[in-house]
Amino acid sequence: MKKKKFGQRWNELLKDIKDNPDALKSAVMSFFVMGLGQFRNKQKAKGFTFLGFGAVAFLTELFTGGYFYIFSDLAQYPADPGGQIYFIRDYGGIFSKGLWGLATLGKVVRGALYRGQAVETFNKIIPWLSADNSVTLLGTGLIALVLTSIVLSVWIYNIRDAYVSRKLILKHGTIETGKEYVKRLWSDMFPYLVLIPTLIMVLFFTLIPFMFSFLLAFTNYTYRIPVPSRLIEWVGFKNFAMIAGDPGWFSVFSQILSWTFFYAIMASATCYIMGLIQAVIIESKYVKVKKFWRTIMIVPWAVPAMISLMVFRNVFENTGLANQLLLKTGLMPAVSNFLFQIGLQGRPDTVISWLTVNYNGNLAKAVVILVNLWLGAPYFMMLITGVLTTLPKDLYEAAAIDGASKWQAFRNITLPLILRATLPAIIMTFTYNFNNFGAIYFLTGGGPAYNLEQIPLSMQVMGGIPGQTDILISWIYKLSFSNNAQLFNIAAVYSILIFIFIGSISVVNLARSKGIWEEE
Amino acid sequence: MKKYSVSDIILKIVAHIWLILGSIVVLVPLLWMVSAAFTPGKLLSGVPLIPDFSNLSLEHYTYIFSYKSNPASLLADYPGAFVRTLQIAVLNTIGVVFFAVITGFAFARLRFKGKKQMLLTMMILQMFPSFMGMIALFLLFRTFGFLNKPNYLALIYTAGSIPYNTFLVRGFMRNIPKSLDEAAAIDGASPLQILRLILFPLIVPIVGFLAVGAFMGPWLDYILQSVFLQPEQMTVAVWLYRTTDPLLTLVYNPLNFMAGALLIAIPIMVVQFFMQKYMVYGLTSGAEKG
């Protein structure tokens, strides 16, 4: 069936309404009071259900708000001379005040004079003398937004139902009994009922936090705004303009971004190649006790990543295992000189500072990638081992008959088959590494630091300075949580950028495998 | 017996040299960790490269089990941290199993509007960097008075795992023939009965895999636990991190870290090895270890 255009559907609806004035009457009744149209249609059970829902929503608004204060003596305080009274702010309930807060992010700060009295952080007796906390308003506003959309959709459904039921009654002369209705509703609604706990969880722990942080990108919220003594404001795309327009920020951002890409690509590629080599060697006919070697090689995968990373942080301490080994085996001068020659080490013939030297961050970057290789190779080894066991034997026999060498067979049969089978996993690993916070944070903590002259003045003032091995995600962490930064708005902007990039890659990756989405 | 050619022998030697070198690289850091856990003192340089069995010390374990914290200390006592983490882990396991089964079932077997869109939305939303969401969650927890109460963190872990687990269980369930459900439905079984009596026994492997993952997760999640809990409520991950943070000079002792880390790493490693079979299933569905 072809989808109809919106305009066409609209015209059909208008025509339908013109033809059924009686059904429209029921719909209008339900428009004003939920369930009223259903009563007119003589569908009592339904009517009570909708009426009850509407009443609950209405009473919630009434009782969560301060409407009763309007009639109390307290409300007699006038506005300040020239001041304004925010009616919804002072009396509104969860829905109206929530949406008001979301739109304005608050109007009255602590210490201000409002309706003739001083505003405190929290005033137990007179609610409107509690200061507006923009952050809380944003959060409750989002909850209100979600609740409002739920109520609105039930309300719309109620109107539609009144209309459609009336039409059916007029057409068939009979009405669906309450029992039939409940039975039908139960089977229609069963999947949603099953999903209610899940939806609540996703709503509160995924959707609302997502919207909250998304919206932060359009505010001026940083640690410099001590709520509730000051208000957060909506600033539109100003933060986006700042990170793109300030040349200093932009240069730091591009450095971080290019390292993030380099890291994600190198980390995935090295792990893949190493995993491939390991799998091919262990599965080859030259190795007899395959299970023994495989078990040893997957050990790093069994160790919790955070622990291995922190062990490696100690391994590469100045007095750690790496330097001790080099000293004991007498290789230290050679390795130190070699690293000096290829430009990774500041001075020759010294003990190597793997993670801390301020010479250039490249040595630390190399260590980051190598440690990731240690951690990540077993994953691909296991994956590729699995693929190898499923390869069709007859292809190799045919190739051997055609006189192909083993290398040719590997190059032209094995490799393409493995690549094709593991492509989704490679893409997933790339996106995973792109956001691999732990691999940076637990190993280097983002260090070594940049030279201060590489950091623009604006960033030195605002805070949130990244280290040389910081990838985008660990920089975001620093931007939002280090004590002298807490640039939540900037961090949110970068989060949105990552989200768009990683999200689109993942969507393409998921959509590629059509079988996953087909419904039988 | 087939005879080996010269090139075969060379390849065999090369392969084994590679494997031996690889094993050294894989095992040495871990052996060093074990050795460090039993070395006295607090200096990494004191850890012998070749384990010195005459100088083994249980000093760090005595410290771990006898240290008593007070509200002002930078470090909580390890047994307390262990119990708190265990609670989070158990709650998370229960939550994950419940939601994985019920949501996976809904998406695999039930028909409803917007099914595909819902799953896709959940999976995409999950790609948003979680630190930013943490600020919102922090506020939410503060509003509900959940802050500084370790058990409530299980809510966040459980919720966070829903999209991916749903995807996995759904995929697993779709490989179970629908004729089983239909036969049961003809006999008058309700959808929930079908899930409980017919499908659940068949999805035990994947659910077991998820349960083990859910149990292990909280032991090694540092950031969330460090932001949401005060030091006196700290968990094992925070405990471990703090002992290797050179800035906290009072409690900094990398050897204590090694000892504490070993305590939780060993059980986890044992479980990982036992669960290998299921892990491979997770891998082939494109899973990634976190």
Q: What are the chain B neighbours of A383 within 8 Å (beta carbons)? A: 283-284
User: Which residue of B20, B39, B131 is the best one to mutate when testing the A interface, meaning the one whose CB has the most A CBs within 10 A?
Assistant: B131
Evaluate if residue A165 carries a pLDDT over 90: no
Q: Nearest CA to CA, how far is A458 from chain B (Å)?
A: 23
Across the A:B interface, residue pairs with CB atoms under 8 Å apart total: 255
pLDDT above 80 for A357: no
How far CA B121 is from CA of A517, B126, B230, in Å, comes to: 13, 8, 34
Q: Contacts for A178-182 with beta carbons within 8 Å, 24 or more apart?
A: A178/A43, A178/A44, A178/A45, A178/A46, A181/A43, A181/A45, A181/A46, A182/A45
- Choose among A306, A304, A255, A261: nearest CA to A431: A261
What per-residue confidence (pLDDT) applies to A473? 92
A334: number of Cβ within 10 Å: 12
B33 Cβ under 8 Å from any chain A Cβ: yes
Q: Report the b/e string of A397-426 with b at 16+ CB within 10 A.
A: eebeeeebeeeebeeebbeebbeebbeebb
pLDDT digits (tens, 9 = 90+) for B229-281: 988 889 999 999 988 887 887 888 888 899 999 999 988 888 888 877 666 66
Task: Answer yes or no: do B135 and A510 touch at CB < 8 A.
Answer: no
The predicted structure's pLDDT at residue B92: 96
DSSP states along A325-365: HHHHHT-HHHHHHHHHHTTS-SSTTS---TTT-SS-THHHH
For residue range A50-100, what is the model confidence (pLDDT) as tens digits? 999 999 999 999 888 888 877 777 766 665 566 678 888 888 888 999 999
Cα A288 to Cα A465, B5, B21, distances in angstroms: 53, 17, 17
Q: Tell me which chain A residues have a C-beta less than 8 angstroms from the C-beta of B35.
A: none
pLDDT given for residue B288 in this prediction: 34
Determine the distance in angstroms separating the CA of B26 from the nearest CA of chain A, rounded to an integer: 7
Mean pLDDT in residue range A295-311: 90
pLDDT of residue A515: 56
Length of chain A: 520
- Chain B, 179 to 208: residues with Cβ < 8 Å from chain A are 191
Residues of B in contact with A295 (CB under 8 A): 273
Inter-chain touch B23–A205, beta carbons under 8 Å: no
pLDDT at A125 over 50: yes
**A chain contacts of residue B133, beta-carbon cutoff 8 Å:** 206, 209-210, 212-213
CB contact under 8 A, B131 and A488: no
Average pLDDT rounded to a whole number, residues A410-433: 88
Average confidence (pLDDT) over A319-339: 85
**Which among B127, B136, B261 has CB closest to A209?**
B136
Question: Is the preceding peptide bond at A448 cis, omega within 30 degrees of 0?
Answer: yes
Express as a percent the part of chain A with pLDDT over 70.
Answer: 94
Q: Nearest CB to B44: which of A296, A317, A488?
A: A317
Mean of the pLDDT values across residues B21-38? 92
Measure CB to CB from residue A503 to each of B47, B127, B158 and give the nearest one: B127
- Looking at CA atoms only, how far is residue A302 from chain B in angstroms? 5
- The average confidence (pLDDT) of chain B is 85
Which whole number is the average pLDDT over A325-354?
80
d(CA A235, CA A220): 6
Least confident of B70-74, B122-126, B231-235: B70-74
Span of A302-316, A349-363, A418-432 with lowest mean pLDDT = A349-363
* B66: closest CA of chain A, how far (Å): 23
Question: What average pLDDT does range A472-482 have in this prediction?
Answer: 88
Whether A149 shows a pLDDT value over 70: the answer reads yes
CA distance B129 to chain A (A): 6
CB spacing of A303 vs B159 below 8 angstroms: no
Mean pLDDT of chain A: 86
* pLDDT exceeds cutoff 80 at A518: no
CA-CA-CA-CA torsion sign (A132, A134, A140, A142): positive
Q: Measured between CA atoms, how close is B32 to chain A, in angstroms?
A: 8
A365 pLDDT more than 70? yes
Instruction: Inspect the interface and report whether the beta carbons of B162 and A319 lie closer than 8 Å.
Output: no
Residues of A in contact with B276 (CB under 8 A): 298
Counting residues of chain B whose pLDDT is more than 70, the rounded percentage is 94
Tell me if residue A486 falls in helix, strand or coil: coil
Q: Which of A187, A189, A213, A517 to mutate to test the interface with B (most CBs of B within 10 A)?
A: A213
Confidence tier at B134 by pLDDT (50, 70, 90): confident
CA distance A311 to chain B (A): 7
H-state helical runs in chain B: 6-37, 59-66, 78-109, 115-125, 130-144, 153-174, 178-186, 191-193, 200-216, 223-228, 236-243, 254-274, 276-284
pLDDT at residue A358 in the model: 57
Q: pTM of the entire structure?
A: 0.87
Res B287 pLDDT > 60: no
Name beta bridge partners: A114: A117
Given CB atoms, is B267 within the 8 Å cutoff of chain A?
A: no
CA distance A248 to chain B (A): 24
The predicted structure's pLDDT at residue A159: 92
Across the range A219-232, mean pLDDT stands at 84
CB contacts under 8 A, B 55-84 vs A, are none
Is the Cβ pair B102, A499 closer than 8 Å?
A: no
Asked if B289 lies within 8 A of A304 by C-beta distance, the reply is no
**Using 50, 70 and 90 to split pLDDT, how confident is the model at A1?**
very low
Q: What percent of chain A has pLDDT over 90?
A: 30
Comparing C-alpha atoms, which of A402, A75, A81, A440 is closest to residue A256? A440
CA distance B102 to chain A (A): 7
Give this complex's ipTM.
0.88
* pLDDT score of A108 more than 70: yes
Please indicate whether, in this complex, the C-beta atoms of B160 and A139 are within 8 angstroms of each other.
no
Q: How far is CA B126 from CA A208, A338, B113, in A?
A: 12, 44, 22
Residue A504 has pLDDT above 70, yes or no: yes
A336 has pLDDT over 80: yes
The answer to whether residue B41 scores a pLDDT higher than 70 is yes
Coil, strand or helix at B82 = helix
Asked if the model's pLDDT at residue B213 lies above 80, the reply is yes
**pLDDT at A376 (0 to 100):** 92
Examine the pLDDT at A155 and tell me if it is beyond 90.
yes
pLDDT of residue A375: 94
Chain A: residue whose CA lies nearest to B106: A191
The alpha carbon of residue B272 is apart from the nearest alpha carbon of chain A, in Å, by: 6
The mean pLDDT value for A266-284 works out to 94
- Residue B60: its pLDDT value, please? 87
CA distance B214 to A429: 21
Burial B86-104 (b: 16+ CB within 10 A, else e): bbbbebbbebbbebbbbbb
B263 touches chain A (CB under 8 A): no
In chain B, the residue whose alpha carbon lies closest to the alpha carbon of A496 is: B128
Q: Which residue in chain B has the smallest CA separation from A313?
A: B244
Q: Report chain A residues whose CB lies below 8 A from the CB of B158.
A: 201
Partners of residue A516 in chain B, C-beta under 8 Å:
171
d(CA B234, CA B226): 7
